[in-house]
Amino acid sequence: MSLTNKVKNSLNWLIGGAQGSGVDSAANIFSRACAEGGLQVFGKREYYSNIKGEHSYFTVRISEREIRSHVDEISMLVSFDAETLLRHAGSVVKGGGIVYDSELVDVKIGEVPTLDDAFRDRLVGLLEGEGKPLTVQGILDYASDNDVSLFSIPYFQLLEEFSTKAEDHSLSKLSRMVNVMSLSSSMALLGFPFETLGSAIRYIFRSKPKIAELNVMAANYAYEYARTHHDASGLAFSLTTKKPLPDVILVQGNQSSALGKLTAGCKFQTYYPITPASDDSEFLEANAIVPQAEGKDGSILVLQTEDEIAAITMAIGGALTGARSATATSGPGFSLMTEALGWAGMNEVPIVVSLYQRTGPATGLPTRHEQGDLLFATKAGHGEFPRIVFASGDIEESYYDTIKVFNFAEKFQMPVIHLLDKAIANSITTCKIFDQQRILIDRGLLMENVSDISPDLGHASHYRRFKLIRDNKNKNGNNNSDANYLISPRVLLGTENGIFWNTGDEHTEEGHITEDPEIRTAMMDKRMDKLRIAIEQIRDEDKATLYGIDEPDSLTVISWGSTKGAILDAMDRLIDEGKKIRFVQLRLLNPFPIERVRTLIGDHKQLVDIEMNYSSQLGLLISENIGISMDHLIVKYNGRPISSSEVYNALVRIILREAPRRIILKHGA
């Protein structure tokens, strides 16, 4: 294959290695280099619940056009250990390439202790079936048979030579740069200019300039070796730089919502360590001092608590003083928070819970992905109380959504569960720089002074936190009472003449305990009525968004959360092939936007629900609220995020009428 026929600037690159061996750094350098080179990037990280030694890998997809998801097919596999080859070499596509350590070819499958037994059995079955030896060479032969180019790099020899050249004889220290050398070799083979790679290395190691320069030199050494010792003409992929679009950032999903919190004016975040949510809090703590438009510095107080019960209850305490307050957790932690969530609902306290979902139940697959907590988030807690459940679909969205959810919490005076997940948290993407002024701050009926409360919202002389205020103008509510209730003005602890009481018991307008049946009914109506107000006030686009070709005979895909990218990318491909397809992305999941969803579904016949869980939880919610059931369910619950390849293939089967009602996706490594 000649160079001119190469697929330029569109590939899926994977680097793997033992946890702690620099896989992340290498992938971040690769992502940064491509982004600086004007290319679009989408990367995702997979890792075990382990500190050092188990296999981790990072795939980075590159394109000149917008990409929002990963794919299953690997174009370029980059490795410096045996396990990465054993696990991934079989997934490299025809025309792809593999960079590997020439010293590892004789490693036997049985000599890699960190392979799961089940995977080892599958691999042995594959190689035996193909008549290959049960070694690294066996899987490389298998790849080679599939027209994959093999590029061996003698890392140890290069390190020795480099050691002499750099006059640094600490080989054990230098050997830590093998990650950068493997990455750099792949860049040479793909034809990517070294200058941009060097700039990316310096960026990633910007806090350690000496180490940065050593890495640049080592990278250059490996780059030159690969360029001069290998013929890459059989490789079907190439990478070059182009003029970057203006104002692009490369951002990780564990930074975006945290950045949104800073813009939203979150002043207090509590957390108990848990994967994959801790990164959010740690980012905030590392950036606790926040410059203010008014000139002086502001700050966010981040506090690690003794457990998740303390995390949410401290956040509630903070919210009562007026600090915009949040906590970030994952499923196990959220389970512990549910009693306090009800207290916040009962006492109309605005708090935000960032729920980074992972595979459950119990400990589940603690570092893997799932969208298994949707129904739990919408129902969590005993008794009935109002809450907003809002789901972000991707990294960029999660920044803006985070500002919105703080507004929802304060406007509607209730807890908000912001659904995020492992797939978002451990992804990296290029996108337009965040616009800090797009979403304005709205604190609702927060009163700095009791005297600011207008007479129709309560008497200034006798403030009542839970004043029952009838909305006589609006009698079309859904609570069957004579009139609807308005939201009562909120004052903060410490406000003069604003004394109030809170209690988890049913309470009077002042906040004192009561068991009076009539007050109970009125207070339930007052609280639950805020869900109607929320439905009235939240914009349609924030309830659910429609994408694609909106025609009467279009296939309709319905989903929520981080499946968005895979669906959009698969949909683009199908539309390019002339298919009519539309996608309804649900964002507000409680209160359920019945009218909006009903309108978007309209008379469409072919409804396909795609979710990363076993039960098609959104499908159940739609069925519960609208009485419509889905024609097809595409589900995945093996802990690995859904890829656009999988969505594409499943939708093709449905379009060809070759699919069962429920399709279970299983790809993953």
Q: Which is nearer to other proteins, 47 or 283 (CB)?
A: 283
Run of H or E including 462 = none
Applying CB under 8 A, the span of 5-13, 168-176, 296-304, 370-378 interacting with other proteins comes to 296-304
For other proteins, the binding residue among 11, 14, 27, 35 (CB under 8 A) is: 35
Cα dist from 421 to 260, 329, 355, 358, 568, whole Å: 16, 10, 7, 6, 18
Strand 11-18 vs strand 55-63: parallel, antiparallel, or unpaired? antiparallel
Write down the least CB distance from residue 434 to other proteins, Å: 6
Q: Which is nearer to other proteins, 465 or 582 (CB)?
A: 465
Q: Which is nearer to other proteins, 413 or 617 (CB)?
A: 413
The neighbouring-strand residues paired with 557 are: 583, 608
| Residues of span 309-328 touching other proteins by CB under 8 A | 309-311, 313-318, 320-325
Write down the least CB distance from residue 340 to other proteins, Å: 6
Write down the least CB distance from residue 458 to other proteins, Å: 17
Q: Which is nearer to other proteins, 259 or 600 (CB)?
A: 259
| Residues of span 265-284 touching other proteins by CB under 8 A | 265, 267-268, 270
In terms of C-beta density within 10 A (0-12 exposed, 13-18 middle, 19 or more buried), how is residue 471 classed?
A: middle
656 near other proteins, judged by CB under 8 A:
no
In terms of C-beta density within 10 A (0-12 exposed, 13-18 middle, 19 or more buried), how is residue 617 classed?
A: buried
343 near other proteins, judged by CB under 8 A:
yes
Write down the least CB distance from residue 211 to other proteins, Å: 18
Structure tokens at 299: 């700050």
Structure tokens at 298: 């502001």
CB of 74 within 8 A of CB of 11?
no
For other proteins, the binding residue among 356, 500, 637, 648 (CB under 8 A) is: 500
Q: Which is nearer to other proteins, 231 or 306 (CB)?
A: 306
For other proteins, the binding residue among 98, 201, 239, 251 (CB under 8 A) is: 251
Applying CB under 8 A, the span of 146-154, 185-193, 222-230, 302-310 interacting with other proteins comes to 302-310
383 near other proteins, judged by CB under 8 A:
no
| Residues of span 36-95 touching other proteins by CB under 8 A | 36, 38
Structure tokens at 209: 């300039």
| Residues of span 546-605 touching other proteins by CB under 8 A | none
305 near other proteins, judged by CB under 8 A:
yes
Residues in Cβ contact with 40 at an 8 Å cutoff, skipping those fewer than 6 apart: 62, 63, 64, 65, 66, 67, 430
Write down the least CB distance from residue 557 to other proteins, Å: 31
Applying CB under 8 A, the span of 182-190, 305-313, 377-385, 532-540 interacting with other proteins comes to 305-313
Tell me the per-residue interface mask from 513 to 552 with other proteins, x by CB under 8 A, - otherwise.
Answer: x---------------------------------------
298 near other proteins, judged by CB under 8 A:
yes
Q: Which is nearer to other proteins, 306 or 576 (CB)?
A: 306
506 near other proteins, judged by CB under 8 A:
no
339 near other proteins, judged by CB under 8 A:
yes
How much is the CA Rg of the chain, to the nearest whole Å? 27
Map residue 656 onto helix, strand or coil. coil
For other proteins, the binding residue among 118, 289, 362, 656 (CB under 8 A) is: 289
- Count interface residues toward other proteins (CB under 8 A): 84
Rounded CA-CA distance 659/310 in Å is 48
DSSP symbols for 315-356: HHHHHHTT-EEEEEE-HHHHHHHHHHHHHHHHTT---EEEEE
Applying CB under 8 A, the span of 28-36, 364-372, 470-478, 596-604 interacting with other proteins comes to 28-36
Write down the least CB distance from residue 293 to other proteins, Å: 5
Rama region for 427: left / alpha / beta (φ>0; ψ in -120 to 50; rest):
beta
Applying CB under 8 A, the span of 147-155, 181-189, 239-247, 578-586 interacting with other proteins comes to 239-247
For other proteins, the binding residue among 132, 227, 443, 573 (CB under 8 A) is: 443
For other proteins, the binding residue among 131, 246, 552, 578 (CB under 8 A) is: 246
307 near other proteins, judged by CB under 8 A:
yes
Structure tokens at 208: 């350690």
Applying CB under 8 A, the span of 215-223, 293-301, 388-396, 573-581 interacting with other proteins comes to 293-301
Structure tokens at 127: 């190689």
Tell me the per-residue interface mask from 401 to 430 with other proteins, x by CB under 8 A, - otherwise.
Answer: --x--------------------------x
Write down the least CB distance from residue 497 to other proteins, Å: 7
The closest alpha carbon to 77, from 122, 19, 12, belongs to 12
Applying CB under 8 A, the span of 224-232, 434-442, 516-524, 636-644 interacting with other proteins comes to 434-442
For other proteins, the binding residue among 511, 540, 546, 653 (CB under 8 A) is: 511
Write down the least CB distance from residue 107 to other proteins, Å: 38
For other proteins, the binding residue among 303, 468, 528, 628 (CB under 8 A) is: 303
| DSSP structural state of residue 96 | E
Q: How many CB atoms lie within 10 A of CB 456?
A: 7
Structure tokens at 492: 């903060």
29 near other proteins, judged by CB under 8 A:
no
229 near other proteins, judged by CB under 8 A:
no
Applying CB under 8 A, the span of 216-224, 375-383, 489-497, 590-598 interacting with other proteins comes to 489-497
Whether cis (ω within 30° of 0) applies to the bond prior to 276 is yes
Kindly tell me the sign of the dihedral angle through the C-alpha atoms of 199, 205, 207, 210: negative
Q: Residue 352 phi/psi, 5° resolution?
A: -115, 130
Q: Which is nearer to other proteins, 354 or 357 (CB)?
A: 354
186 near other proteins, judged by CB under 8 A:
no
Q: Which is nearer to other proteins, 161 or 505 (CB)?
A: 505
Rounded CA-CA distance 640/325 in Å is 32
Distance of CA 338 to the CA centre of its chain: 23
Q: Which is nearer to other proteins, 410 or 525 (CB)?
A: 410
Q: Which is nearer to other proteins, 507 or 543 (CB)?
A: 507
| N-term to C-term CA, the chain | 30
Residues in Cβ contact with 610 at an 8 Å cutoff, skipping those fewer than 6 apart: 557, 558, 559, 563, 567, 634, 635, 642, 647, 650
Map residue 119 onto helix, strand or coil. helix
387 near other proteins, judged by CB under 8 A:
no
496 near other proteins, judged by CB under 8 A:
yes
CB of 42 within 8 A of CB of 67?
yes
DSSP symbols for 589-630: EES--HHHHHHHHTT---EEEEESSSS-HHHHHHHHHH----
Q: Residue 185 phi/psi, 5° resolution?
A: -60, -45
Rounded CA-CA distance 93/17 in Å is 20
Structure tokens at 623: 């069925």
The closest alpha carbon to 349, from 537, 503, 470, belongs to 503
